[in-house]
Chain A
Amino acid sequence: MSTSATGAATEVRAPAGPPRVRPRRRPWLAERLQTVLLGLGFPLALVVAWHYAVVGSGTKLIPTPYQVGLMMADFAVGGIHDDAFSGTLFTHLAASMERVYGGFGLAILLGVPLGLAIGMIPLFRKLLDPTLAVLRPIPVTAWLPLSMIFFGLGPRSAVFLVFLGAFYPILLNTIFGVRSVDPKLFEAAAMLGCDGSRIFRQVVLPAALPSIFNGLRLAHAFAWILIVVGEMTGVPTGLGSVIMDGRTLSRTDLVIAGMILIGVAGFACDRVIVAINNRVLAWSPQHHA
């Protein structure tokens, strides 16, 4: 190892032991701060632009961010407008979450086992593949009339529509996960004495997990997107119904408040799924989100 004249002082110590790991807290914190600042800065700039666009054009159709903020505060705790929506945020949020997670949960309960079966058993694949391929392109909104006939005007219809939207991403990603398990892992398991149903639990399921989680995240996003459609079916509560009410009453501030709430709730719940994903898939850093 040659020592250059300028680097002599620092290089003398180097061969004595393993290279010391530099304390990385400060760059990590700075990076974190930058991420947060940039992530918050852009929407803040949008809000400012929104404000000046509304004030500058003098439109009465779109409220300013301040008016939406007031609406949001009234919606949450009341005391400002004191109308039918005051202080009802959590009732509506709870109702929507119940439907989102009802539909999402049903989609998991049906989509994961069915996906595993289709991925593993050729008979299932032959039986169900053509049907699913035809059903899949039908938009969820097209199911609205039938869903109302099946389940009536009410929350069950909303749950069904959320379920439909969440089902396919979970199903398809589970099938994909099972079918893309490295065949060598089956051979390795077989030579180590693992067979039959044990292969399924010990090899197929864990190997397919990254793909299944991928499906869950996609489906979760769809579930929140579809809640508005689901709550168009004439339910009295839920963020979707609030947006629909806002539309009929020309309360655009209410519409925008509902939109923001759905976005924030969906984002917050996605972080929970990501946290679970990162914990369960600690063995596979390329599947971390």
Chain B
Amino acid sequence: MPDGTDHPRRPFLAIRDVGKVFEIGDERVEALHRVSAVIDKGEFVCLIGASGCGKSTLLRIVAGFDAPTSGAVTVYDHPIAGPGSDRGMVFQDYALFPWMTVRENVGFGPKQKGLPAKRVREIADEYVAMVGLTAFADRFPHQLSGGMKQRVAIARVLANEATILLMDEPFGALDALTREQLQDELLQIWARTGVTVIFVTHSVEEATLLADRVIVMTAGPGRIESDNRVALARPRDVSAPDFNDVRRRLTQRLTSHVARRELRTAA
């Protein structure tokens, strides 16, 4: 590495033996059990699994919103202690600031850094343009469609110079056409910026389309079932035979475990 800060031996993002126990009243629910993974800079990783497998919990721990009960998450060996501007979350329900325009939402991060107003505006306009919303820069979130809101949320995180983009089923609430378009745009942005993406989804097809790596998780307690590299060339064609092979393999990974669980509960 040219600048010497990224020592090759130091992993970019390391999740080590992370466990999370929620205590609801007297009940203890183990949401994550000894989850470990190392993610390289610039990788596009999808977390996939049935509901209750802890994929969103894991994402929130990486974001710093929740602390792990055991284990740790580190970025270049620095443990994550809380939310930080190096990691930006894109929520399924957008979580935009409704009283701010598109431009103000995107400029929110730069503004917190104390940059002059003119510079904040320049940065905001640049990222608003990146997601194709220049014509809507002065609109409020309530005046936008779901797809546009999610574009604002992505631009807001990128404008803040986040190096890790955490996405929690970001396109789950969108219609099929808008979803396809946003998947496309996300891949372009990812290729252009070199940002690392951790993307939670429950759609095998979405994971196959987007990811370099698909981490399949299983529930009760949440843990990693398998870590699968997707070697398909980009751009990917959802109707190609090799795409189908990967999708089928991942689906088997996902469902074999669900079937086992059902048998166990029936017994």
Contacts and interface: CB of A to CB of B under 8 A. Distances in A.
Q: Do A and B come from one complex?
A: yes
Interface stretch (A143-151, A245-253, A278-286): A278-286
Interface residues of B, number: 29
B204 interface: no
A258 B157 CA distance: 59
A275 interface: no
B54 interface: no
A187 B142 contact: no
A192 B156 contact: yes
B15 to A, nearest CB: 18
A249 to B, nearest CB: 53
Interface in B134-149: 140-142
Nearest to A285: B142
Contact of A191 (B63, B140, B142): B63
B91 A188 contact: yes
Interface string A164-193: 000000000000000000101101111111
Contacts of A206: 97, 99
Given A282-B140, A283-B142, A284-B142, A191 B97 contact: no
Contacts of B91: 184, 188
A207 B99 contact: yes
A276 B85 CA distance: 36
Nearest to A187: B65
A153 B151 CA distance: 63
B93 to A, nearest CB: 7
A182 B95 CA distance: 8
A192 B99 contact: no
Nearest to B108: A192
Interface residues of A, number: 20
A187 B108 contact: no
B112 A191 contact: no
A196 to B, nearest CB: 11
Interface in A100-157: none
Main secondary structure of the interface of A (DSSP, over half): helix
Nearest to B160: A192
Contacts of A184: 91, 93, 95
A198 interface: yes
B82 interface: yes
A198 B109 CA distance: 12
Interface in B95-110: 95-100, 108-109
A209 interface: yes
A187 B95 contact: yes
Interface of A: 182, 184-185, 187-194, 198, 203, 206-207, 209, 282-285
25 contacts: A182-B95, A184-B91, A184-B93, A184-B95, A187-B63, A188-B95, A188-B97, A189-B97, A190-B82, A191-B88, A191-B89, A192-B157, A192-B160, A193-B84, A193-B109, A193-B113, A193-B160, A198-B112, A203-B97, A206-B97, A207-B97, A207-B99, A283-B98, A283-B141, A283-B142
